[in-house]
Structure 1
Protein backbone atom coordinates (compact mmCIF):
# COMPACT_ATOMS: atom_id res chain seq x y z
CA UNK A 1 0.00 0.00 0.00
CA UNK A 2 2.84 2.41 0.76
CA UNK A 3 4.28 2.09 -2.74
CA UNK A 4 0.89 3.01 -4.20
CA UNK A 5 0.74 6.24 -2.18
CA UNK A 6 4.29 7.15 -3.20
CA UNK A 7 3.52 6.42 -6.86
CA UNK A 8 0.33 8.49 -6.67
CA UNK A 9 2.16 11.55 -5.34
CA UNK A 10 4.99 11.17 -7.85
CA UNK A 11 2.51 11.10 -10.73
CA UNK A 12 0.57 14.04 -9.32
CA UNK A 13 3.77 16.06 -9.10
CA UNK A 14 4.55 15.47 -12.77
CA UNK A 15 1.56 17.42 -14.08
CA UNK A 16 0.05 16.78 -17.48
CA UNK A 17 2.37 14.65 -19.59
CA UNK A 18 1.90 13.57 -23.21
CA UNK A 19 2.06 10.04 -24.51
CA UNK A 20 5.62 9.00 -25.40
CA UNK A 21 4.94 9.43 -29.15
CA UNK A 22 4.21 13.13 -28.50
CA UNK A 23 7.45 13.88 -26.60
CA UNK A 24 9.11 16.89 -28.17
CA UNK A 25 5.86 18.20 -29.63
CA UNK A 26 4.65 21.77 -29.29
CA UNK A 27 2.66 22.33 -26.07
CA UNK A 28 -0.33 24.65 -25.84
CA UNK A 29 -2.53 25.26 -22.80
CA UNK A 30 -5.91 26.93 -22.38
CA UNK A 31 -8.80 27.18 -19.94
CA UNK A 32 -12.35 26.75 -21.24
CA UNK A 33 -15.40 26.74 -18.97
CA UNK A 34 -13.11 26.56 -15.95
CA UNK A 35 -11.29 23.46 -17.18
CA UNK A 36 -7.64 23.34 -18.17
CA UNK A 37 -6.78 21.61 -21.44
CA UNK A 38 -3.29 20.89 -22.74
CA UNK A 39 -2.72 20.24 -26.44
CA UNK A 40 0.44 18.61 -27.74
CA UNK A 41 1.10 18.74 -31.49
CA UNK A 42 3.82 16.84 -33.24
CA UNK A 43 3.74 16.70 -37.03
CA UNK A 44 0.26 15.77 -38.15
CA UNK A 45 -0.82 14.36 -34.76
CA UNK A 46 -2.34 16.01 -31.69
CA UNK A 47 -3.10 14.86 -28.19
CA UNK A 48 -5.52 16.83 -26.00
CA UNK A 49 -5.49 16.20 -22.26
CA UNK A 50 -8.06 17.46 -19.77
CA UNK A 51 -6.63 18.40 -16.42
CA UNK A 52 -9.05 17.94 -13.52
CA UNK A 53 -12.23 16.03 -12.79
CA UNK A 54 -15.45 15.75 -14.79
CA UNK A 55 -18.86 14.87 -13.46
CA UNK A 56 -21.47 12.50 -14.85
CA UNK A 57 -23.10 13.78 -18.03
CA UNK A 58 -20.26 16.20 -18.85
CA UNK A 59 -18.10 13.92 -20.97
CA UNK A 60 -19.73 14.49 -24.39
CA UNK A 61 -19.52 18.29 -24.03
CA UNK A 62 -15.92 18.08 -22.83
CA UNK A 63 -14.94 15.83 -25.74
CA UNK A 64 -16.52 18.29 -28.20
CA UNK A 65 -14.62 21.14 -26.54
CA UNK A 66 -11.37 19.19 -26.85
CA UNK A 67 -11.89 18.86 -30.61
CA UNK A 68 -12.88 22.55 -30.95
CA UNK A 69 -9.78 23.92 -29.21
CA UNK A 70 -7.29 22.23 -31.53
CA UNK A 71 -7.72 24.78 -34.38
CA UNK A 72 -7.68 27.70 -31.89
CA UNK A 73 -4.36 26.64 -30.46
CA UNK A 74 -2.58 25.02 -33.41
CA UNK A 75 -4.15 26.48 -36.56
CA UNK A 76 -4.73 22.92 -37.78
CA UNK A 77 -8.03 21.13 -38.43
CA UNK A 78 -8.87 17.81 -36.77
CA UNK A 79 -9.50 14.88 -39.11
CA UNK A 80 -12.76 13.77 -37.46
CA UNK A 81 -12.58 10.12 -38.49
CA UNK A 82 -9.18 9.80 -36.81
CA UNK A 83 -10.34 10.89 -33.33
CA UNK A 84 -9.63 8.34 -30.58
CA UNK A 85 -9.95 8.51 -26.83
CA UNK A 86 -12.32 10.00 -24.31
CA UNK A 87 -12.85 13.20 -22.33
CA UNK A 88 -9.64 12.61 -20.38
CA UNK A 89 -7.21 12.19 -23.28
CA UNK A 90 -8.01 12.44 -26.95
CA UNK A 91 -5.73 11.79 -29.92
CA UNK A 92 -6.24 12.62 -33.60
CA UNK A 93 -4.59 13.44 -36.89
CA UNK A 94 -4.68 17.02 -38.12
CA UNK A 95 -4.33 18.80 -41.44
CA UNK A 96 -2.42 22.05 -41.34
CA UNK A 97 -2.18 24.90 -43.85
CA UNK A 98 1.18 25.61 -45.43
CA UNK A 99 3.56 27.20 -42.97
CA UNK A 100 2.07 25.34 -39.98
CA UNK A 101 3.46 21.93 -40.87
Structure 2
Protein backbone atom coordinates (compact mmCIF):
# COMPACT_ATOMS: atom_id res chain seq x y z
CA UNK A 1 0.00 0.00 0.00
CA UNK A 2 2.79 2.39 0.88
CA UNK A 3 4.50 1.90 -2.51
CA UNK A 4 1.25 2.72 -4.32
CA UNK A 5 0.99 5.99 -2.38
CA UNK A 6 4.60 6.89 -3.19
CA UNK A 7 4.05 6.10 -6.87
CA UNK A 8 0.91 8.26 -6.93
CA UNK A 9 2.75 11.19 -5.32
CA UNK A 10 5.60 10.93 -7.81
CA UNK A 11 3.20 10.85 -10.75
CA UNK A 12 1.39 13.95 -9.55
CA UNK A 13 4.52 16.11 -9.40
CA UNK A 14 4.07 17.63 -12.84
CA UNK A 15 3.85 17.01 -16.53
CA UNK A 16 6.29 14.63 -18.15
CA UNK A 17 6.61 14.18 -21.89
CA UNK A 18 5.94 10.98 -23.79
CA UNK A 19 9.16 9.08 -24.56
CA UNK A 20 9.35 10.46 -28.12
CA UNK A 21 9.45 13.98 -26.61
CA UNK A 22 12.33 13.36 -24.18
CA UNK A 23 14.99 16.09 -24.56
CA UNK A 24 12.42 18.46 -26.06
CA UNK A 25 11.86 22.17 -25.45
CA UNK A 26 9.46 22.66 -22.52
CA UNK A 27 7.11 25.64 -22.35
CA UNK A 28 4.41 26.53 -19.83
CA UNK A 29 1.39 28.75 -20.47
CA UNK A 30 -1.91 29.59 -18.79
CA UNK A 31 -4.90 30.28 -21.05
CA UNK A 32 -8.34 31.18 -19.72
CA UNK A 33 -7.24 29.99 -16.28
CA UNK A 34 -6.11 26.56 -17.51
CA UNK A 35 -2.44 25.57 -17.23
CA UNK A 36 -0.71 23.77 -20.10
CA UNK A 37 2.77 22.40 -20.70
CA UNK A 38 3.95 22.20 -24.31
CA UNK A 39 6.82 19.92 -25.32
CA UNK A 40 8.28 20.70 -28.74
CA UNK A 41 10.67 18.49 -30.62
CA UNK A 42 11.32 19.36 -34.26
CA UNK A 43 8.07 19.62 -36.18
CA UNK A 44 5.97 17.89 -33.47
CA UNK A 45 4.46 19.08 -30.19
CA UNK A 46 2.78 17.45 -27.24
CA UNK A 47 0.40 19.46 -25.04
CA UNK A 48 -0.47 18.40 -21.51
CA UNK A 49 -3.27 20.06 -19.56
CA UNK A 50 -2.56 20.35 -15.84
CA UNK A 51 -5.11 20.09 -13.07
CA UNK A 52 -8.61 18.71 -12.82
CA UNK A 53 -11.51 20.06 -14.87
CA UNK A 54 -15.15 19.03 -14.65
CA UNK A 55 -16.84 17.77 -17.80
CA UNK A 56 -18.37 21.13 -18.80
CA UNK A 57 -15.12 23.02 -18.18
CA UNK A 58 -13.30 20.77 -20.69
CA UNK A 59 -15.17 22.07 -23.76
CA UNK A 60 -12.67 24.83 -24.70
CA UNK A 61 -9.59 22.68 -24.05
CA UNK A 62 -9.00 21.37 -27.62
CA UNK A 63 -9.01 24.96 -28.96
CA UNK A 64 -6.80 26.13 -26.09
CA UNK A 65 -4.30 23.32 -26.73
CA UNK A 66 -3.77 24.63 -30.25
CA UNK A 67 -3.47 28.19 -28.95
CA UNK A 68 -0.91 27.02 -26.37
CA UNK A 69 1.22 25.60 -29.18
CA UNK A 70 1.06 28.81 -31.18
CA UNK A 71 1.86 31.05 -28.22
CA UNK A 72 4.79 29.01 -26.97
CA UNK A 73 6.41 27.81 -30.20
CA UNK A 74 5.41 30.42 -32.79
CA UNK A 75 4.06 27.56 -34.94
CA UNK A 76 0.51 26.51 -35.74
CA UNK A 77 -0.88 23.06 -35.14
CA UNK A 78 -1.34 21.45 -38.54
CA UNK A 79 -5.09 20.91 -39.13
CA UNK A 80 -6.15 17.30 -38.76
CA UNK A 81 -2.90 16.21 -37.09
CA UNK A 82 -4.21 15.97 -33.52
CA UNK A 83 -3.66 12.56 -31.89
CA UNK A 84 -4.83 11.68 -28.37
CA UNK A 85 -4.23 8.60 -26.28
CA UNK A 86 -7.98 8.12 -25.83
CA UNK A 87 -10.76 9.44 -28.09
CA UNK A 88 -11.91 12.83 -26.79
CA UNK A 89 -9.08 13.07 -24.26
CA UNK A 90 -8.55 16.68 -23.11
CA UNK A 91 -5.59 15.91 -20.86
CA UNK A 92 -2.95 15.27 -23.53
CA UNK A 93 -2.62 15.58 -27.29
CA UNK A 94 0.10 15.53 -29.95
CA UNK A 95 0.21 17.64 -33.08
CA UNK A 96 2.29 18.14 -36.21
CA UNK A 97 3.55 21.71 -36.47
CA UNK A 98 3.33 24.15 -39.35
CA UNK A 99 6.09 26.70 -38.72
CA UNK A 100 6.81 29.88 -40.65
CA UNK A 101 10.01 29.72 -42.65
Greater Cα offset, 89-98 or 1-10: 1-10
Cα deviations across residues 42-77 of structure 1 (Å, max 9, x unaligned)? 011000001100111222311111112211111111
Over 3 Å counting, the alpha-carbon distance change for 1:10 and 1:69 in structure 2 is: closer
| Aligned residue number for residue 94 of structure 2 | 91
Counterpart secondary structure, 2:16: coil
Which residue does the alignment assign to 1:68? 67
Matched residue pairs, number?
Answer: 97
Deviations 1:9-60 (A, max 9, x none): 12123x1111010011111111112221110110110000011001112223
Give unpaired runs (5+ residues) of structure 1.
none
Distance 2:12 2:51 in 1: 11
Give 3-state SS (helix, strand or coil) of 1:46's partner.
strand
Unaligned runs of 5+ in 2: none
Residue 44 (structure 1) aligns with? 43
- Structure 1: distance between partners of 2:37 and 2:23: 14
Q: TM-score, normalised by structure 1?
A: 0.87
In angstroms, what is the RMSD of aligned CA positions? Answer: 1.2
TM-score scaled to structure 2, two decimals? 0.87
CA distance in 1, matches of 2:94, 2:9: 26
1 or 2, which has the higher helix percentage? 1
